[in-house]
Amino acid sequence: MPYYRVVGEVPRKRHVQFRRPDGGLYAEELMGEEGFSSDSSLLYHRHLPTAIVKAEAVEPDEAAVLTPNLPLSPRHFRTQDLPAGGDLVTGRGLIAGNADVRMSYAATEAPSGLYRNSMGDECVYVASGRVTFESTYGAIEAGEGDYVVVPTGTIHRWVPQGRVTAFVIEASGHIRPPKRYLSKYGQFLEHAPYCERDLRTPAEPLTAEGEDVPVLVRTRGGLTRLVYRNHPFDVVGWDGCLYPYAFNINDFEPIVKGIHAPPPVHQTFEGPNFVICSFCPRPLDFHPDAVPIPYNHHNVDSDELMFYAGGDYTARKGSGIDVGSVSLHPAGFTHGPQPGAVEAVLEAVRQGHTRTNELAVMVDTFRPLDLGPAGLSVEDPAYAWTWSR
């Protein structure tokens, strides 16, 4: 994140002696992206953050195996039908992915163990329920419509209050606001659909006691369980420009035109070889002759995966897609409004309809998406042929 935050106690200068009440030194840790050449934060631990006492292999996750989208076709996955279970880390059912990004769905009530993803940032979209995100940086209370962006390497856990459902985006690098929304020094510009005030960050340190504490670590090589001598939640203060944050989709201010605007106006984040867009309730396109839903389009360089989070997605009427559904429209297939949807929306406009109440999260990838076992287990095989009418 581009802007500076300070939480808890930090010394007046970086890299100087900073002592605990008992006279011992706090252990300073730099969390930094791109070597020492991008955003970073300095964290001050009561104990050494390097002290591991055990490393255990974790069985490879067979549920993470991907299958090519062959024969090529548009897909509809009903996450509504996936069984609940596990937690927000281990209970993720893989829907689709490639070497750049993986999308999963989870429905659970159980708290997760401590987890560190060392492969990339995660963006967890809370579709329903309430959950506390706890981390070395502190806690964030999250609820329906929140994107929680977790920087690579952040040790954290998820503690739901009741049942939580989430759409999870795991990147192979960093997830950031689009560059075009930012000044050259990183401040959100006036035309951006959200800004710093919309981002919620940990407000105070979060500490916990414990010894021999396991942390599940995801790396490119697989999963490992590292056991730490002391509980990693021992940070008394941190400062810098790298930290987890939450952004609620309802704080995204939609950009509306007289005639239909393409998805880049909905862009919320960018990652390596993918973008994340938010489709939010908004006035319909207002030119007197507007066709206020998408035109048929063939994004020759993109696969387009959409999670229908709420409301009523006008362009998919009659397709069987409902709240909780995920659609995949791959490169190689032209898509657009479902057959009949243009006529239906024009009739609705004639009847006085002026707004859309759709709520959806879209991930456009620049390399083909393969299909995950959880997605395939709840696929609606009739979906492709809803385009044939």
- For residue 379, the minimal CB distance to Fe ion (Å) is 19
- The residue number with the shortest CB distance to Fe ion is 304
Question: How far is 98 from 105, CA to CA, in rounded Å?
Answer: 16
Q: Give which of 135, 330, 315, 331 is closest to 233, Cα–Cα.
A: 135
Site pattern 285..304 for Fe ion (x: CB under 5 A): -------------------x
Count of residues that bind Fe ion according to CB under 5 A: 1
Say if residue 266 carries a ligand binding annotation. no
138-142 and 122-135 beta bridge pairing: antiparallel
For the CA atoms of 307, 309, 314, 315, what is the dihedral angle to 10 degrees? 0
Nearer Cβ to Fe ion, position 170 or 304?
Answer: 304
Sign (positive or negative) of CA dihedral 381, 382, 386, 389: positive
Nearer to Fe ion, 33 or 304 (CB): 304
State in angstroms the smallest separation of the CB of 297 from Fe ion.
6
Judge whether 313 is annotated as a binding position.
Answer: yes
Nearer to Fe ion, 229 or 297 (CB): 297
Q: Which of residues 302-331 bind Fe ion (CB under 5 A)?
A: 304
| Residues labelled catalytic | 260
Which one, 200 or 260, has the nearer CB to Fe ion? Answer: 260
Q: How far is the CB of 371 from Fe ion (least distance, A)?
A: 18
CA–CA separation, 294 vs 206, rounded Å? Answer: 46
**Please, what is the minimum distance in Å from the beta carbon of residue 329 to Fe ion?**
6
Q: Are 69 and 75 in contact (CB under 8 A)?
A: yes
- Find out whether 147 is annotated in a ligand binding site: no
Is 297 one of the annotated binding-site residues? yes
Residue 49 and residue 32: Cα distance in Å, rounded? 15
C-alpha–C-alpha distance, residues 341 and 36, integer Å: 51
Q: Please give the single-letter amino acid code of residue 208.
A: A
The answer to whether 60 and 360 are in contact (CB under 8 A) is no
Asked if residues 374 and 105 have their Cβ atoms less than 8 Å apart, the reply is: yes
Annotated binding residues for homogentisate, written as ranges, equal: 313, 335
- Binding residues for Fe cation are 297, 303, 335
Q: Which residues are annotated as a binding site?
A: 297, 303, 313, 335
Interface with Fe ion by CB under 5 A: which residues?
A: 304
